[in-house]
Structure 1
Amino acid sequence: MWKGVYPAVTTKFKPDGSLDHDEMARSFSLQLDAGCDGLIVCGSLGEGPMLSHAERIEVLDVALAVAGTKPVLMTVADASTQASCSLARAAQKSGAAGLMVVPSMVYHTDERETVATLKAVAAAGDLPVMIYSNRLAYRVDVTHSMLETLAGDDHFVAIKESSDDIRRTTEILNAFGERYDVLTGVDNLAFEALTVGAHGWVAGLCCAFPAETVAIYKLVKAGRYDEALVIYRWFRPLLDLDVSTYLVQNIKLVEAIAADSNDRVRMPRMAHEGERRSQIESLVKRSLDTRPALPSDLHLL
């Protein structure tokens, strides 16, 4: 159902902290025009937990307005299952194509609680669900046995695999075949995951460099690994910025430089300054200076 490149888009703010609908529409359109297969809104990159439910639906509506026939997924990530169910229902009402669901944000659920929460949110939204498994950031691991239990529920169609263990992709595919679409959620493991069979890439630095992200995916799927690897090796220092406590500030700063956007964030996050900002600015400028040419036949893949 969800194969290809799905950027986890950033949420844009005006100087007064309110949502910047126009800049979001422009940024989201850049992703789609570059060949991305859909959008995922209000995740960690989209600062979802820092937004009210009403604001999250606003962001969703902006994405839906520019996405046309391409799917837009709402990230559901709240402290309580009750709140997650409420957001899932609101997203379904607004026209989301699906949900990307984080089992628990604050309390670290056990296996029984994780499965029950995912099932409750899926039932509330009555939409296809991508399970977001990220044991590092959220300390809740959606394990093989949980996927086995959830396989009997048709709402669950995909998994964003962010365990940071590249073996997981093969293990899921070996165990479940094509039951779940497996999308890698770790930017600097994307080439590795795609080459062992991942169906897609939930991408972060794609927000600033969508054409390169799409090129890597298309070339891998066409079996043109050497060409994909040249781009990936160039991209790797930037992709490393996705694996950080400061991933939101990192990627928004890259967007500000490479995509003519801005790096406004919502507190408690604060935009980079000083040495950290200078390091990222230097990295982006070096990357732009050495940006590889993309194959001319990508549009045919």
Structure 2
Amino acid sequence: MWSGVLPAVTSKFKEDGSLDHDEMTRCFGLQMDAGCDGLIVCGSLGEGPMMTLDERIAVMRTAKAVSGGKPVLMTVAAASTRESCEIAQRAATAGADGLMVVPSLVYQTNDAETVATLRAVAEAGDLPIMIYSNKIAYRVDVTPALMEELASDKRFVAIKESSDDIRRTTEIFNRLGDRYAVLTGVDNLAYEALAVGAVGWVAGLVCAFPKETVAIYRLMKEGRNAEALALYRWFRSLLDLDVSTYLVQNIKLAEALAIGSNERVRAPRQPLSGETRKRVESIIRAAMEVRPALPAFG
């Protein structure tokens, strides 16, 4: 459950702004067909904070219907601990297999507050948890020291490592051994993280390029690093689109061009326009023009 390629899927909307479950079913199915190992719903890329709790649960249920028994994780990301606990409770009742938990979405918690919040969510949901450590986006750093403090609670099983510092992955292993499953959460550091021991990839561009993402992961696990690196170098310009304020719009544009989906987003976001759109579209189209054939892998 805590290894492999886990897409942080986008959420799909109709023209009137309501959830498009038919399109999510199609797009989530493409992830499963490509060999992804589960689905993570309603994160930053999935625009979870722009949804009501009922909508988040509905997206999760759609993912569960498509996943074929593979794990579906609900993202817990809210301004208050109270709301985070409510999300965790509702997700557990609705059948989530686990949670990916952002310690604090708005307020920059100190170490004691971070630990207290994570423990409260664990108690509320009573599900396996992947701690989302992303000091860049959320300004809260779940350090190896805090991971060690939480290690006595077996519900904390994995780390989505998104500090943007590749040294952090090795620091986690050196301090905590194999206590946690470490997954990389930064698309354009994925090869590097897998090379130093990460066991999974919480991926973004996988939404538009699932087969290539799975191929890189599987090749790395088979020790075929040179083949994985060649594919990763082709992919790199696309993966950079994940590390952006506009990652949602970037990836939805990639989905529109690569898998025929749409670019609809929840306000205040708007689809890319003007020179920014031209630049991103040119990156995507240029990569697609030289899209490599994929090697066979196990």
Find the residue that maps to 2:135 and give its secondary structure: coil
| Counterpart residue number, 1:237 | 237
Find the counterpart in structure 2 of residue 67 from structure 1: 67
Shift of 1:278: 1.2
Partner of 1:137, secondary structure, is helix
Distance across 1 between alignment mates of 2:259 and 2:195: 28
Aligned length: 298
RMSD of aligned residue pairs (Cα, Å): 0.6
CA shift at 1:144, angstroms? 1.5
Letter in 2 for 1:60: M
- Residue of structure 2 in register with 1:25 after alignment: 25
- State the one-letter code of the partner of 2:220: V
Shift of 1:283: 1.4
Aligned residue identity for 1:151: A
Task: Output the amino acid matched with 1:39.
Answer: L
| Equivalent position amino acid for 2:72 in 1 | V
SS at structure 2 position matched to 1:136? helix
Paired with 2:149 and 2:274, the residues of 1 have a C-alpha distance of 49
Superposed displacement of residue 282, structure 1 = 1.5
TM-score by length of 2: 0.99
Deviation at 1:288, TM superposition (A): 1.1
Deviation string, structure 1 residues 254-293 (Cα, Å, up to 9, x no partner): 0000010001000011100111111122211111110011
Q: Which residue of 2 aligns with 1:271?
A: 271
Aligned to 2:190: 190
Q: Distance in 2 between matches of 1:24 and 1:217?
A: 24
Supply the AA of the counterpart residue of 1:25.
T
Aligned-partner residue type, residue 158 of structure 1: A
Q: CA deviation at 1:175?
A: 1.4
C-alpha separation between the residues in 2 aligned to 1:107 and 1:282?
A: 37
In structure 2, C-alpha distance between the alignment counterparts of 1:95 and 1:121, rounded to whole Å: 16
Aligned to 1:199: 199
Overall identity of the aligned pairs, in %: 69
1:221 matched to which residue of 2?
221
Q: Deviations over 1:65-112 (max 9, x none)?
A: 111210000000000000000010000011100000000011110000
Structure 2 Cα separation of the partners of residues 285 and 141 of structure 1: 36
Task: Give the TM-score taking structure 1 as reference length.
Answer: 0.98
Cα separation, 2, equivalents of 1:67 and 1:174: 34
Q: Per-residue deviation at 1:194?
A: 0.2
The alignment partner of 2:173 has SS state of helix
CA distance in 2, matches of 1:30, 1:145: 38
Distance 2:96 2:27 in 1: 19
Aligned to 2:145: 145
1:210 counterpart letter in structure 2: P
Deviations 1:120-148 (A, max 9, x none): 00110000000000000000000121101
What is the CA deviation profile of residues 5-45 of structure 1, one whole-angstrom value per residue up to 9, with x for unaligned ones?
Answer: 00000000001000000000100010011000000000000
Query: Once the 2 structures are TM-superposed, how far is the Cα of residue 173 of structure 1 from its aligned partner?
Result: 1.1
Q: Distance in 1 between matches of 2:202 and 2:142?
A: 17
Structure 2 residue runs without a partner (length 5+): none
Which residue number in structure 2 is paired with residue 99 of structure 1?
99
The 3-state SS of whatever aligns with 1:5 is strand
Structure-1 separation of matches of 2:28 and 2:56: 15
Counterpart-to-counterpart distance in 2, 1:282 and 1:86: 42
Partner residue in 2 for 1:130? 130
Residue equivalent to 1:47: 47
Q: Distance in 2 between matches of 1:174 and 1:32?
A: 34
Between the aligned partners of 1:104 and 1:284, the Cα distance in structure 2 is: 33
Counterpart-to-counterpart distance in 2, 1:214 and 1:125: 30
Q: Partners in 1 of 2:31 and 2:119 — Cα distance?
A: 31
Alpha-carbon separation, structure 2, partners of 1:172 and 1:37? 23
Asked if 1:165 corresponds to 2:192, the answer is no
Task: Name the amino acid aligned to 1:235.
Answer: F
| Alignment partners' CA distance in 2, 1:83 and 1:142 | 20
Task: Look up the SS of the partner of 1:291 in the other structure.
Answer: coil
Letter in 1 for 2:118: L
Hey, what's the Cα distance between the residues in 2 that align with 1:286 and 1:164? 26
Match of 1:4 in 2: 4
5+ long unaligned stretches in structure 1: none
